[in-house]
Amino acid sequence: MEQQLIELLMPASVEIFLLVMACFILIADLLLTKSGKIFTFYLVLFTLLGAAALSGFTHVNDHPICYNGMFVDDAMSDTLKLLSSVAVMMMLVYSRDYLMARGLFTGEFMVLVLFALLGMDVMISAHHFLSLYLGLELLSLSMYALVALQRDSAVATEAAMKYFVLGALASGLLLYGMSMLYGATGSLDLTTISHAIQNGVPNKSLLVFGLVFVVSGLAFKLGVVPFHMWVPDVYHGAPTAMTMFIGSAPKLAAFAFTARILVDGLQPLVKDWSGMLIILAVSSMALGNLAAIAQTNLKRMFAYSTISHMGFLLLGFIAGGIEGYGSSMFYVVVYVMMSLGAFGMIMLLSRAGFEADNLSDFKGLNQRSPWLAFMMLLLMFSMAGVPPTVGFYAKFSVLNAIVQAGYTPLAVISVMFSLIGAFYYLRIVKLMYFDTPETHEVIQVSPDTALVISLNGLGVLFLGLFPGGLMMVCAIAVKQSLLLH
């Protein structure tokens, strides 16, 4: 009996562990004094370490789809859950000193982060519209609260309101599309929907309308044009720690969310949705890169660059096949790594009462701290796609997939916009190495944060020199997961 119960719960062990620990930490934090909050921090890190470890031991090879088709435990879900836990751990280490200086180092922040991660994990493993939507809303509601956590900041409150209103609108679009797909196919299970479409549905127009609404909802969650309006305001208005969180781990869940719906559920409609994705991808790369050039605020600049990166991510879905979806997964993993480092650097240069989020704050960084300047140089080179950093190979793998799929003009357009985008990344390198600093104040970095930023920057270089391992992991995860259902 016990053995049967363990086997039953094993596929969702990561989610169960996260939920139990989040509830325990929520109660335990009430009993701690203000000076004891560091204990909560280490308890959260232990939870994330446990979730990452569990992700590697839960895969059920013979029956990946479980709980009456609501949940899937496959290679892709395990890989993305592991990476999400590691990304959130890095985010917490980066943001600890920043949050302490602003009075935001609270149990509420850390518990909300855990619930957001729980939502991501549910999204990653969902195989049914209901479980997909449940994970999405848990993640979204946690992020709305995180953006508004700095209650004495009018800018943060405004950003949270915009995020909430537009997020609710996007959720409505997604739900409306799902209801149309249910009306056309008679099911909310992704595999059943795929088979129903293949066998021919009586109301094709209802199906296509549903697809349009679903793709619109997905586009909002990815932050691509024309559903990008929330990205610059939320990135700019939220405290940098929350901006780092929004711009990193949830992108892994958004990739899985998109892959589950479009590849597992709506693959027979690939001709319909790939045309829509081409428009979204090209317009995102165009607007994102061009608008980023005009920004003087780093957080807004990275917001527009995120829009262009998500447009690039969609190219892999357009290409299709193991190579296309694998390159998209590789790209989103690399992007999360680069994003963590970039926002981490902003927080390292910030101090109490001062946000180092303007371009001018990076002037002469090489004279103040050569090592930090070198780490930022590696991160900016990677975002711009300059070899030998891993950003180059991420872009190359996506472009290679899109060319092999017969979309050569689309690849040419993508390269042109990438060249435009290189300008605003290399501008930061120019400011760090060729401009005189506005202040010679010594940058105080705690040992663990210095270790993480060094691993982050050098990891970008190492993976650029040896990208094969991560590429293979992504290709195997996609091959064993998406294309088997």
Kindly list the domain boundaries of the chain, sorted by start residue: 2-484
The pLDDT of residue 72 is 85
Cβ-count burial 425-437 (b if 16+ within 10 Å, e if not): bbebbebbbebeb
Give Cα separations from 380 to 341, 370, 376, 394 (angstroms): 10, 15, 6, 14
The pLDDT of residue 353 is 66
- Alpha-carbon Rg for the chain in angstroms: 22
The pLDDT of residue 336 is 93
Residue 278 burial (C-beta neighbours within 10 Å; 0-12, 13-18, 19+): middle
405 — phi, psi (to 5°)?
-80, -5
Distance CA 258, CA 72 (A): 15
Long-range contacts of 159-166 (CB under 8 A, 24+ apart): 159/233, 159/234, 159/236, 159/237, 159/238, 160/234, 160/237, 160/238, 162/229, 162/230, 162/233, 162/234, 162/237, 163/230, 163/233, 163/234, 166/220, 166/229, 166/230
Q: What residues contact 369, with CB distance under 8 A and at least 6 apart? A: 443
The pLDDT of residue 320 is 80
The pLDDT of residue 485 is 42
Q: CB–CB of 156/150 below 8 Å? A: yes
pLDDT along the chain (485 residues), means of 10: 70 87 88 78 90 78 72 86 92 87 83 92 89 91 89 85 88 90 86 84 81 89 84 87 89 90 85 88 91 88 91 88 88 92 87 76 84 90 89 91 89 90 89 82 81 90 88 86 59
Instruction: Report strand pairing: 65-66 vs 71-72.
Output: antiparallel
Strand partners, 65: 72
The pLDDT of residue 370 is 87
Distance CA 443, CA 428 (A): 18
The pLDDT of residue 483 is 57
The pLDDT of residue 484 is 45
Q: What angle do CA 36, 38, 41 make, to 5 degrees?
A: 130
The pLDDT of residue 377 is 92
Distance CA 410, CA 402 (A): 8
The pLDDT of residue 63 is 57
